Amino acid sequence: MKTLISLSILTILSVSSALALSVTNRDKAEHAVTVDKGAVEVVHKVAPGATVTEPCPDVCGVRIADGNGSDFLAKDADKLAITGNRVLPDK
């Protein structure tokens, strides 16, 4: 029974990560990225070349906290990149 519960939890966690929004920093400087989920905002520091993930079950606004760009509207499974101090779809 414990094994079944453990496997269920691992499956849920791996599916959650696979469906999460991801942001990769393609710039040469570290950036702070804000994911606005409405009532909750989450800030991640993203080193050059690094990728962060954040669950976004509904539409989220994603922006560089230290940038002057506007929000990029995203949802789970979207892959975004920081390029030229802006958040754009990752190619």
Instruction: Give the domain ranges of the chain.
Output: 2-89
pLDDT tens sequence for the chain (91 residues) = 555 444 444 434 434 455 799 999 999 999 999 999 989 999 999 999 999 999 998 899 999 987 666 789 999 999 999 998 899 999 8
Q: Does the domain at residues 2-89 carry the CATH identifier 2.40.128?
A: no
| pLDDT at residue 66 in the model | 72
| pLDDT at residue 68 in the model | 65
Helix (H, G, I), strand (E, B) or coil at 68: coil
Q: Where are the beta strands (DSSP E) in the chain?
A: 21-25, 31-36, 41-46, 51-54, 60-64, 72-74, 79-83, 86-89
pTM higher than the cut 0.85: no
